[in-house]
Amino acid sequence: MSQFSESDFGANDYSTARPDYPPNFYDFLSRYHSGYNSQLVDVGCGPGTATFQLVKWLPEFSKITGTDLSPPMISKASELATRASKTSQQEDSQGKQIEFHVSSSTDFSFLQGKSCDMITAAECAHWFDFNAFQSAAAETLSAHGTIAIWGYIDSVLERYPDTDALMLDLQYGDDKLGPYWDQPGRDILRGLLQDRHLDPTLYERIQESHVVARELTSAATQDFPLRITKEMPLSRYLAYLKTCSAYHAWKKDPQNRDSPDPCDELIATIQKMHPELKDLNYKVRVLWSSFYKVGTRRA
Ligand SMILES: C[S@@+](CC[C@H](N)C(=O)[O-])C[C@H]1O[C@@H](n2cnc3c(N)ncnc32)[C@H](O)[C@@H]1O
The DSSP secondary structure of 110-168, one letter per residue, reads GGTT--EEEEEEES-GGGS-HHHHHHHHHHHEEEEEEEEEEEEEEEEETT-GGGHHHHH
What residue owns the CA closest to ligand 1's atom 9? 49
| Res 11: pLDDT | 55
- pLDDT band at 134, cuts 50/70/90? very high
- pLDDT band at 90, cuts 50/70/90? very low
Res. 37: pLDDT tops 50: yes
Closest atom of ligand 1 to CA, residue 4 = 25
* CATH code of the domain occupying 2-297: 3.40.50.150
In this prediction, residues 188-207 reach a mean pLDDT of: 98
Amino acid at 264: D
| Res 1: pLDDT | 54
Decide: 18 in ligand 1 pocket, CB within 6 A: yes
Q: How far apart are CA 156 and CA 90, in angstroms?
A: 33
Decide: 44 in ligand 1 pocket, CB within 6 A: yes
Q: Are 215 and 260 in contact (CB under 8 A)?
A: no
What residue owns the CA closest to ligand 1's atom 10? 124
- pLDDT band at 34, cuts 50/70/90? very high
Query: What are the residue ranges spanned by the domains of the chain?
Result: 2-297
| Res 7: pLDDT | 56
Please indicate whether residue 197 or residue 220 has the higher confidence score (pLDDT).
197
Across the strands, what pairs with 43?
Answer: 67, 121
Across the strands, what pairs with 232?
Answer: 284
Task: Look at the chain and count its residues.
Answer: 299
Helix-helix angle 245-252:262-273, to 10 degrees: 120
Mean pLDDT score across all residues of the chain: 92
**Distance set, CA 33 to CA 27, 58, 198, 240 (Å):** 10, 10, 16, 32
In this prediction, residues 223-240 reach a mean pLDDT of: 95
Decide: 51 in ligand 1 pocket, CB within 6 A: no
CB atoms within 10 A of CB 273: 11
